[in-house]
Amino acid sequence: MPVAIQNGTLLEGSRKGDGVFELVRPHRFWFSRSMPGTLFIRQSRDKRADHWSIRRAAKALRKAGWTVEITLDEDTRRSFAEAEADRVTRAEERTERFTEYAGNAAARSNTAYAGVRQIADGIPMGQPLMPDHHSYRRALRDRERMDAGMRKSIDEGKKAEYFTQRAKASGSYEAFRKNPARTLRRIEKLEAELRGVERRLRGESNNGYTRALTPDTVAELGRRKEEIGYWRHVIAEAEANGFKVWRPDDFVKGDFAKVYGRWFQVLRVNKKTLTVPSILNVHQAVVTPQNSTYGEMTHTVPYDKVFGRRSAKEMERTLAEASSS
């Protein structure tokens, strides 16, 4: 029974080994660790129900003789801010868990290696195996134990490294999500989608689509506005902390913009981008139409890729100081 609720899209009423999982797995369903006997669609919590996957899973179950009831509840959902705060909390919990896993694996690796060293220290350096000696079988066992110990030490060391990387990734989740440049791109994408929905609500074509919107899609419009509002607040906080959001008003033709660690002269100021000499010029610290190795070729650079500005006079003064030093 697929159910789309606040906890995500869940399938209840199944038991391990009953064949349901094999039927719905191609439609994005997976086992739930926290809710035994429940299957779910990954990353479906607090999101619009994946009607396509639900219908396909239900069709596969009915074809196999199962009775399926679909219940959709799109309204019982946390606010975007609440959901995002919960994602950050869970990322912090994963960081703690993976850090513990890494420490345990590192300890096991060190213990296994210490055991190998203890055995090795009892064997005289360079002593070969002596098949006719009474200690031969013991020597063979020692070498087998050393080999197994080294393998375990290496394997546990790899586990420690793996969980350390997982801990780093989880620990940087919030910084990754709230990175200002990435957030600006996210806002632009969401606003473009929002404008498309609003055009269709007015009965206008959106990239060729004129089909009427369903009530669920219209309801999603309000949630999309809420998400945009959240990310705009993130940008406002970043600006308050010193991050500069570059806009068309900040530039005039002839200025220089810092892009990819180099300075490009601005040829045209556009609403969403700056037109500059080709960004393929990787050998010049300052790129102008005159020194561009790609002639008249130009590129447009979105404002979220800009990390600095200098006027033509400021750049002239900087170059003069550099040449005289």
Dihedral Cα 59, 63, 69, 74, nearest 10 deg: -10
What is the reported pLDDT for 4? 44
What is the reported pLDDT for 169? 92
> Of the candidates 293, 219, 306, which has an alpha carbon nearest to the alpha carbon of residue 261?
306
Q: Which helix (H) or strand (E) holds 190?
A: helix 180-201
Summarised one tens digit per residue, pLDDT across range 145-166 is 889 999 999 999 999 999 999 9
Q: In angstroms, rounded to a whole number, what is the distance separating the alpha carbons of residues 168 and 171?
A: 5
Q: In 10 A of CB 110, how many CB atoms?
A: 14
Residue 106 has which token pair? 């590192």
* pLDDT over 70 at 134, yes or no: no
pLDDT (average), residues 273-298: 93
pTM equals 0.72
Where b means 16+ CB within 10 Å and e means fewer, 164-197 reads bebbeebbebbeebbbbbebbebbeebeeebeeb
Summarised one tens digit per residue, pLDDT across range 7-30 is 788 888 887 788 888 888 888 888
Contacts of 76 (CB under 8 A, 6+ apart): 5, 6
